[in-house]
Amino acid sequence: MRAACRPGPWKRGPVLATTALLLGLLMLLHAEITDLGGLGSLVETFLPWFGLLVPLLLVGALWRRSASAVVALLLPGLVWLDLFGGLLGGTSHQGADLTVVSHNVGAGNPDPAGAARALAASGADVLALVEITPQAGATYAKELAQRYPHHTVRGTVGLWSKLPLSDTRTVDVAMQGMAGPLARHLSAEERKPTPRALRTTVTTDHGPIAVYVAHLGSVRLMPRGGYRTEQRDAGAKALGKAVAAERNERVVLLGDLNGTMDDRAFAGLTSRLRSVQEAAGDGFGFSWPAAFPVARIDQILVRGLEPKSSWVLPATGSDHLPVAAGISW
């Protein structure tokens, strides 16, 4: 009698089925989520992690023996694979002409000399550093001088290169003075508006490359203000305009952008530049925080160049991991 009264497999687990459908719609329509309080950016920052809910819901559906929930899970599963499945197969290739590395070295890094030596040992041809404090700047210059005879620093960002540099200038990324962890290491005078991005030309045997190095404003999860991204978004917009006006066909953008390339705030950049991680990475390439990376906020983007490979380097004492890429003409 009890068995006869039990609902059939298509009627079991309505909550699980509904949750699965909502999850699928969330990932499918993430660009339509309001950005009030930074909600849209917050969802897009951690969008890959929503895929973990699919196997959890599947376990629940199998336990409840709910056919409707299992079928409903096809939606979030297929959407996630469409968004991120390409990162699982491994798309890196050999034969890069140029290796570039980008690293937020961390204002509170206890061993800048060790970090510099580790980065130099990567064999990079071009090395971009951000969050350089005045105290550590001389250390990086000294430790990298032998392998990188050409370098330029503007404010808290710098570029070291084995190839000649020229036409270096500051890029205004709309920062209103210093904020975040870096400010704790600066005097009141040094907290005044400081360059956080630069543009330079790297001369190669195949022609010039315009290289941008940027450290955009931090984001904050505030109890009463939501996910605050105003400074970061203003910087991303300014950087996008600079890249749009760039006349060189070959462009490389390196730095800590404090956001993932799924975030709508970077539409002005992703519409003109390719992410090497998405084009030639093996896995997600998460770079922050170093102890347990959950997001890739350190980026390498290119235009007019072919991404060959992308990988993450070992920790250096910073709260970020260095990211590297091989690119070809």
Reported as a single tens digit per residue, the pLDDT across 146-186 is 999 999 999 999 999 999 999 999 999 965 444 455 455 44
Is residue 72 domain-shared with residue 140, that is, in the same domain? no
Is residue 315, in this structure, part of any structural domain at all? yes
- Say how far apart CA 171 and CA 281 lie, in whole Å: 28
Same-domain check for residues 118 and 256: yes
- The whole-angstrom separation of Cα 165 and Cα 173 is 21
238 and 106 belong to one structural domain = yes
Domain total in the chain: 2
Whether 179 and 67 map to the same domain: the answer is no
Same domain, 158 and 291: yes
Domain final residue, candidates 59, 87, 115: 87
- pLDDT-derived band at 318 (thresholds 50, 70, 90) equals very high
Evaluate whether residue 93 is within a structural domain: no
Task: Note the pLDDT tens digit of each residue in 210-257.
Answer: 999 999 998 887 766 677 888 899 999 999 999 999 999 999 999 999
121 has pLDDT over 60: yes
- Residue 269: which domain range? 98-328
What single letter denotes the amino acid at residue 137?
A: G
- 169, part of any domain: yes
Q: Assign 120 a pLDDT band (cuts: 50, 70, 90).
A: very high
Render pLDDT for 67-107 as a digit per residue (tens, 0 to 9).
Answer: 999 999 999 999 999 999 888 876 777 889 999 999 999 99
Q: Are 125 and 15 in a shared domain?
A: no
Do the Cβ atoms of 290 and 319 come closer than 8 Å? yes
30 shares its domain with 50: yes
The answer to the question of residue 235 being in a domain is: yes
- Please tell me whether residues 174 and 262 are part of one structural domain: yes
- Residues 6 or more apart whose Cβ sits within 8 Å of residue 181: 106, 107, 108, 131
Task: Provide the phi-psi class of 319: left if phi over 0, else alpha when psi is between -120 and 50, else beta.
Answer: alpha
Question: Rounded to two decimals, what is the model's pTM?
Answer: 0.89
Q: Which two tokens stand for residue 246?
A: 């760039």
53 and 129 fall within a common domain: no
Is 217:231 a contact under the CB 8 Å cutoff?
A: yes
Report pLDDT digits (tens) over 3-13: 555 678 788 88
Q: Are residues 83 and 110 in the same domain?
A: no
Q: Is the pLDDT of residue 190 over 50?
A: no
Residue 37 has what pLDDT?
A: 81
Q: Would 158 be classed as within a structural domain?
A: yes
From 87, 121, 154, give the residue that closes a domain. 87
pLDDT at 191 > cutoff 70? no
Measured CA distances, 254 to 36, 42, 250, 251 (Å): 29, 22, 13, 10
Question: Lowest-pLDDT range, 17-31, 49-63, 169-183?
Answer: 169-183
Quick one: 251 and 305 in the same domain?
Answer: yes
Q: Kindly give, in sequence order, each residue whose CB lies less than 8 Å from that of residue 121, ignoring residues fewer than 6 positions away.
A: none
> Is 112 found in the same domain as 83?
no
Residue-by-residue DSSP string for 194-256: ---EEEEEEEETTEEEEEEEEEPPP-EEETTTEEE-HHHHHHHHHHHHHHHT---S-EEEEEE
